[in-house]
Amino acid sequence: MSGKISVQNGKKGGRPKYDSSIKIDIPNINLVILTPRQYGSLVEKYGYELLHRAVCILEAWLKTSPQGEKYRGKNNYAHFRADGWLINSAKFKN
């Protein structure tokens, strides 16, 4: 498969592409896109409360920030890094 483009694995067999139509439904969250498997792994990693705060912060950022425009309609799993701004903001938000 060397050098061939695969739709299931992105360009040249890289990271898999996630279909943005397969997403979880969270009440009042319209712009954050996560697959059910991704959401489950994030709940295991961070817990429901912290993840919910992070999802709300990301939703607000996607709605209001000009930088967030390029991430609308795309899978947002990469934003949930343990050392990233989103999780750190959620930890310190009361």
Look at the chain and report how many structural domains it folds into.
1
Q: Is residue 6 part of a domain?
A: no
The pLDDT of residue 94 is above 80 = no
> What pLDDT, in 10s, does the model give residues 31-64?
999 999 999 999 999 999 999 999 999 999 999 9
Q: What is the pTM of this model?
A: 0.76
Residue 7's pLDDT band (boundaries 50, 70, 90)? Answer: low
For the chain, what is the total number of helices (H) and then of strands (E)? 3, 0
DSSP secondary structure code for residue 38 in this structure:
H
Q: Domain range for residue 77?
A: 18-92
**What residues contact residue 13 under an 8 Å CB cut-off, 6+ apart?**
1, 2, 4, 6
CA dist 22 and 11 (Å) reads 20
Q: Is residue 24 part of a domain?
A: yes
Q: Is residue 7 part of a domain?
A: no
Q: Is residue 26 part of a domain?
A: yes
